[in-house]
Structure 1
Amino acid sequence: MAAPGAGLRWGPCPTEAGAGAALCTTVTVPMNYSVPEGEQIELTVSRMQPVGPAQGRGVLFAGQGGPGVDALNFWSSRDSRVPALREFDRIAVQPRGLRWSTPLRCTKAVVVILPVTDRASCEAAAPGYPGTLTTETLARDLEQVRRALGTEQISFYGGSYGTALGAAYATLFPERVDKMVLDANVNPEWAWGEQVARGWQAREAAVYELFDWIAANDDTYGLGATRRAVAGEWARQVYAQGGGWQARLDPALGGALGALVDGGAEVGSAELSGRLANLVQSVRRPGAGQSLTQSATDAAVYWRNYWPYLAEGMRRYKDDPRHIEFLSYVASRLSPDPTSGWVYDAITCNEAGAVSSAGVAALVDSPTGQAISSLPPSCNGPVCCALHGRRPRSGWRSTGAGWHILR
């Protein structure tokens, strides 16, 4: 039997993909599956061939997180951590809209304080293309790649958003699934406004846990022995690096106005004044971007193993602002390519649902009574999707009896 993908031309992957020993090819798929003979687009696919005495366990597809996360390095980044995976023929499909897979071409518009993907610019660059960015379409792309590989069935491992992608694929093509593992599942009833609302709450709690950890290691990093002190240094760095209003998102975490408000305390006039000052700062500097410390923090709250690198980076920056190598390293863990945000906005807004009262409460009332980091680095959620030009909801849903695609 020929190896999967024997008819495809495999070669080096893009250098920036960091795909290690993987090889890459391109597969042509319909832009719009309702018009399969219409315009076509190209997807880049990476492959790591099986090794070891038990090689030949089959083809294993990747379900990367996101949406909007690069996939080509998915298996190479796990090669040493999970040796058993080497027995599979490992495939990763770079999602459409991202770099190397017919990328979206968009611009950002700032509406008061909210950086929003300008959907009109995406549409002008590729008419009809932004509307195809859905979980269902990405699942159909996987099927096209399976066909190109010439394999009868695939196994699938997905984490985070990859669980939604895997579930959608299994719904559409159940006969093509061999084994499937879904890890850290996305709640199918939360797509996507509710997911964003609950995610902000979880992210805020993670930031406080991070600051507490840095404070507990003050002997090593010298950034402060309390959450309050660490938060103050964090805000000072963000502001100094041009983060502006993000450093002042909550007066409890530094800046010229307001003192720390204890968890559970009522929002008083000082804090309200501080939040108003944040809004004024945002209007005055609507183009103010993220600082390096802010970007590194965004990565560190997602990956706990980067906490020491973030703390060391903040320590070095505090001692000498020219020393940004550690902060740059942690910040680089996030996708540096703008297509990541554009794809995230397109998929979440194409599939956007309403936010429940519990989700609204998660946005308004945090575990600490603060607002730190409740606003993400890019605008998402129901309000931003309305600004983005949200399309009618489509996507996937669990009915209790299985997964079904919303037509």
Structure 2
Amino acid sequence: MRILVVGSGGREHALCWAIAASPVCETLYCAPGNAGIAQEAQCLDIKADDIDALVAFAEKEGIDLVVVGPEAPLVAGLADRLKAAGIRVFGPSAAAAALEGSKRFAKDLCAKYDIPTAAFGTFTDADAAKAYIRERGAPIVVKADGLAAGKGVTVATTVEEACAAVDQAMVDGAFGAAGATLVVEEFMEGEELSFFALVDGANALPLASAQDHKAAHDGDKGPNTGGMGAYSPAPVCTPALEQRIIDDILTPTVRSMAAEGTPYQGVLFIGLMVTTDGPKVVEYNVRFGDPECQVLMMRLKSDLLPALVATADGVLSAADLRWYDDETALTVVLAAEGYPGTYEKNTVISGIERAEEDPEVTVFHAGTARDADGTLRATGGRVLNVTARGRSVTEAQAAAYRAVDAIDWPQGYCRRDIGWRAVTRESGGA
């Protein structure tokens, strides 16, 4: 098969790494890719949001399957355009991608079909949003309705902070059109969990659980980021909890999307809060998580590509995925110093070969490029995903940090406590 992966981050490197290993894959392209992806695929000078160019390339080259990594092209209708051109695509339609593209759409769906989530209100008027906040009190969560590059959510500890978030979005226009509508919701206490499933429009195949670390610094301190590390499986996701997620959230979501006339096809990533009342939806995402995808691909024992094709073809019952159930995968994000704020670009990285001397370690590239002479440089905020497998979270964590320490990048930083909840459990702590 001739495959095109769309995207340029660590998620897309992990997908290309898995797809390239398939005996079914004849030729693999990635648009636009990065320095790490170039080891697995032919990178194209086409941006992930250039829908016209992506469709034209897929038609010209006779692409058999397009795998869309990031959410923005899906929300913009890339899958619709590809299907209209007769090209098989892994990823939902624009209408179905509203699950991530519009938080209001997702919350209204949960309310209509009794899918557990936080109590909420939606607002297009700043004064009305502030009145709701004052009535509910803090802590409280303020979310921009549309895509805001991961920056549209404020977990406010005071009423004043929440009202300032309303002004930032609606008065200052910090998120543009994405912040013209706000969702204000109850703050949920508990443990966060990422849960993934393939969905073919009518049927769902649960994949695996993971736990992400959003805060920039150790101890879950500092500003939120796109993710500083993750591990899979998440010990909090017991078999009993997984079945409850499937029965109360996953299956009703798939059925409700079909009932609304917007059947969902692709990977469904459900962000959950495990509360004392059970799992509740924090958000839906219409693509693999980043960096969760990296740990999922490291744990995947079977061929990914046939499952992606079965999902796109609406015959998911034919898919068979097997996992390294007795192993954990953990990834540590190496980011540019200053991220998620301002940071220096084009700094030199070396030592990745040393890091990968351990056969259980793979370094996925998220924001890298090579000079003409082969020098590897950091081009983004989140730059490398140092990923390791082990028989426990503790073992995988140790292997990942040994690999991190083998990499020479003075301008980079990372959290040193990825997986701390699970490591604490394994050591007999609370």
Structure with greater Cα Rg: 1
Q: Which of the pair has the greater relative contact order for Cα pairs under 8 Å at 6+ separation?
A: 1
Question: Shorter-chain TM-score: what band?
Answer: under 0.3
Higher helix share: 1
TM-score computed with the length of structure 2 as normaliser: 0.26
TM-score computed with the length of structure 1 as normaliser: 0.27
Higher strand share: 2
